[in-house]
Amino acid sequence: MSVTLDLSRAQKAAAPPAPVNLTGLTRAQLQAALVEAGVVAPDKARMRSNQVWRWMHVYGVTDFDRMTDVAKDVRAAMADRFVLNRPQIVERQESRDGTTKWLVRYAPGIEAETVFIPDVARSGALCVSSQVGCTLNCTFCHTGTQALVRNLTAAEIAAQVQVARDDLGEWPTSPDNRRLTNIVFMGMGEPLYNLDNVADALDIVSDNEGMSISRRRTTVSTSGVVPQLKALGERTGAMLAISLHATNDALRDELVPLNRKYPIAELMAGIRQYPGLSNAKRVTFEYVMLKGINDSPAEARALVRLLAGIPAKINLIPFNPWPGSPYECSDWGTIERFAAIVNKAGYASPIRTPRGRDILAACGQLKSESEKLRASARRQLEGGQVPEQAPE
């Protein structure tokens, strides 16, 4: 007996897959994609992909026709099969202190924030997001009040650097005179819960024949996902920052609930194993100053004791309030007393000046309106339809 399947309904329901955006691929993926699509012959793949790579990541082009040293028929074939899109910028805000925040929309309901902070380190740092929302619920963090919507892909993470450079007018890439020199993963989300994509994104943005943002100028901040620390160091060579915020387990359990899974002793042991740790490659310990919670001189001394023997920097972060936040920032005098103790122990300029507070762009203030949609509603939105139900 023969059976004929009626595929007409299934075909109607499934939207065609979106064309691949070449700007978000690693070098190896780019080469493979061009060969697989039949755009270039395998023996020309390396040369061609190097050309395309340069146009995308040195010149920032988003139009195949500007790739003037690539044969016309190859450009046309690429334009048929691929795109060079940037995500949409839904909102752009500039703070009084020059900090700029972009709300980037990747797809309907998938939005994350990126912040450029001028004049830190030698030049400027871009604070990127690794997830939309976060699964962790640190009690002082605005992002923590937003459920995880999803991980960002490597392309979506790299795109944050690309849109910032579009806006700053920093194409073609130049080693001197650029403002965006550093990257910090201190935006939305826990980067070590999305390590594969974070690592691929760093491969894209750090490439010497591309955006060329040094791994030594890239910092990944984690709330302490201990089992991933070693892999982070091995795969990315990035600088490590640890969101410590408390020196004893009882308090850290409360502030950073992940501590219940990986308590302080385990965390410190994991940090000591971080690949390449040295005085030239120190770990940054972030410590948010919460009034009456973790800001006493005794805690400053405990902090110094805890870090003994680890090549470390300390970053005291004045708490940045957000609507409905349950804490207050420590008084300035208290922060200075705390800083003086860690200073005396040899940690220079430990207080981080809050930047972009007026536009909710400072540490821990980021949150997008993206809510976790039911999968069915998201599929409808991605198909361009109005969802049947409101977000959960």
Residues annotated as catalytic are 113, 363
- Give me the least distance between CB of 295 and ligand SAH, in Å please: 13
Which span sits near ligand SF4 by CB under 6 A: 31-39, 74-82, 133-141, 278-286? 133-141
For 320, other C-beta atoms within 10 Å of its C-beta total 23
Among positions 26, 99, 143, 320, the unique one binding ligand SF4 when judged by CB under 6 A: 143
Nearer to ligand SF4, 137 or 214 (CB): 137
Indicate which of ligand SAH, ligand SF4, none lies near residue 290 (CB less than 5 to 8 Å, by partner kind).
Answer: none
Q: Which two tokens stand for residue 61?
A: 């082009």
Residue 238's binding partner, choosing from ligand SF4, ligand SAH, none, with beta-carbon cut-off 5 to 8 A by kind? Answer: none
Stretch that binds ligand SF4, among 20-28, 40-48, 137-145, 340-348 (CB under 6 A): 137-145
Cα distances (angstroms) measured from residue 392 to each of 210, 312, 372, 373, 376: 41, 42, 6, 6, 12
From candidates 189, 233, 270, 321, binder to ligand SF4 by CB under 6 A: 189
Per CB under 6 A, residues contacting ligand SAH are 138, 140-141, 186, 190, 221-223, 243, 286, 288, 317, 319-320, 363-364
186 binds, among ligand SAH, ligand SF4, none (CB under 5 to 8 A by kind): ligand SAH
The 8 Å CB, 24+ separation contacts for 166-171 are: 166/60, 166/86, 167/89, 167/92, 167/100, 167/102, 167/116, 168/116, 171/58, 171/59, 171/60
Least distance between ligand SF4 and beta carbon 222 (Å): 8
Counting contacts by CB under 6 A, is residue 39 touching ligand SF4? no
Report the residue number, 49 or 247, with the smaller CB distance to ligand SF4: 247
Distance of CA 25 to the CA centre of its chain: 16
Partner that binds at residue 363, options ligand SAH, ligand SF4, none, CB closer than 5 to 8 Å by kind: ligand SAH
Answer yes or no whether residue 134 interacts with ligand SF4 by CB under 6 A: yes
By CB under 6 A, residue 141 contacts ligand SF4: yes
180 or 188: CB nearest ligand SF4: 188
Tokens standing for 347? 């940690």
Number of residues interacting with ligand SF4: please give it, by CB under 6 A.
11
d(CA 14, CA 21): 20
Amino acid (1-letter code) at residue 81: R
> Binding mask 209-228 vs ligand SF4 (x if CB under 6 A, - otherwise)?
--------------x-----
Are the C-beta atoms of 182 and 222 separated by less than 8 Å? no
Smaller CB distance to ligand SF4: residue 134 or 164? Answer: 134
Residue 117 interacting with ligand SF4 (CB under 6 A): no
Q: Which is nearer to ligand SF4, 61 or 366 (CB)?
A: 366
- Applying CB under 6 A, which part among 66-74, 131-139, 172-180, 212-220 lies near ligand SF4? 131-139
239-298 residues near ligand SF4, rule: CB under 6 A: 243
Residues that bind ligand SF4 (CB under 6 A): 134, 136-138, 141, 143-144, 189-190, 223, 243
